[in-house]
Amino acid sequence: GAVVSQHPSWVICKSGTSVKIECRSLDFQATTMFWYRQFPKQSLMLMATSNEGSKATYEQGVEKDKFLINHASLTLSTLTVTSAHPEDSSFYICSAEPGVRGNQPQHFGDGTRLSIL
Amino acid sequence: DAKTTQPPSMDCAEGRAANLPCNHSTISGNEYVYWYRQIHSQGPQYIIHGLKNNETNEMASLIITEDRKSSTLILPHATLRDTAVYYCIALINTGTASKLTFGTGTRLQVTL
C-alpha cells in the first residue's frame, strides 16, 4: 500500500529558530502533497497545497513567509517553520495522493509534533 | 464539497459491531464519501470510500443510502485498537488531487 513518511516525528527547539519537516512518498510519486496543522483537541486544518515544481498554494490566514514549502521532487515536500515561536507549537501532518482523484485515496504521514520553548 | 454531519461521540463494546453514521444531505452526484480515522497522536488513516454502491474491505463496510444523503461505516467486530476519531468526508472528483476538509468527526470509544 501507499506509504507516506514524515521526519522528524518529534522536535523541540528554542524560540526564534527554524525547523524543517520532511514528507516523503515512499512507493509512489506525488505531484501534489498537502500540509495540515492540528492543535490539541481540534480537527486537522489545511495549511497549504504543495505542488511539485511550482509555488505552494496557501490557505487563508496562513503566512507564506513563515511556513516555507518546497516540493522539489515527486517524492519529497518540505515544510520549514521560520523563526518559530511558542504559538507555532502544534502537530504538523502531510498527505499525498497516488493516482487520479477518485481512484486512489490520500495517505497521511504519522505527523511531526513541534514544541517551541 | 458537501458538508457532513456526524455525532460527536459513540461507545461500543469490544467484539460488537460499531455503526458510525454520517449525514451528507447536500452531496452531489460526483462526490465520493471517504472515511478516515485518527488514532491519538497519529496521522489519519484511510479506511474506505464509495460513490453509490456499498463497499467492503478488510477494515470495514460502507453502506450508502439509495438517495446518497447519508452513509454508515461499519466496523464488524470492534477492538480496543479501533478507539479513534472517525471522519466522514465528501469529496468531489476533479481529476486531480483535492484537499480534504476535516470536520469534528465522531470519537469512538471501544470498551471491554
Instruction: Provide the pLDDT for residue A102.
Output: 46
Mean pLDDT along residues A84-91:
96
Share of chain A above pLDDT 70, in %: 95
Mean pLDDT along residues A36-62:
93
Mean of per-residue pLDDT scores for chain A: 91
Contact across the interface for B100 and A106, Cβ inside 8 Å: yes
Instruction: Provide the pLDDT for residue A54.
Output: 86
For the beta sheet containing B70-75, the strands, ordered from the edge strand earlier in sequence to the opposite edge, are B18-23, B70-75, B61-64, B55-56
pLDDT tens digit string along B71-104?
999 999 999 999 999 999 998 766 667 788 899 9
Mean pLDDT along residues B17-22:
98
Instruction: Provide the pLDDT for residue B97.
Output: 72
Residue of B42, B46, B98 with shortest CB distance to A107: B46
Residue A105 has pLDDT above 50, yes or no: yes
Contact across the interface for A44 and B46, Cβ inside 8 Å: no
Residue A99 has pLDDT above 90, yes or no: no
Cβ-based neighbours of A79, under 8 Å, separated by 6 or more? A20, A21, A23, A35, A47, A67, A68, A69, A92, A94
Determine how many CB atoms are found less than 10 A away from the CB of residue A115. Answer: 13
Q: What angle do CA A6, A42, B70 make, to 5 degrees?
A: 100
Residues A107 and B87: their CA atoms lie apart, in Å, by: 14
Residues B60 and A80: their CA atoms lie apart, in Å, by: 37
Supply B93's cell numbers: 472528483
Mean pLDDT along residues A71-98:
94
Residue A61 has pLDDT above 90, yes or no: yes
Q: Does B102 touch chain A (CB under 8 A)?
A: yes
pLDDT tens digit string along B24-81?
999 988 889 999 999 998 999 999 999 998 999 999 999 999 999 999 999 999 999 9
A103-107, A112-116, B12-16, range with the lowest pLDDT? A103-107
Residue A100 has pLDDT above 80, yes or no: no
Contact across the interface for A95 and B100, Cβ inside 8 Å: yes
Q: Report the chain A residue with the minimal C-alpha distance to residue B43.
A: A110
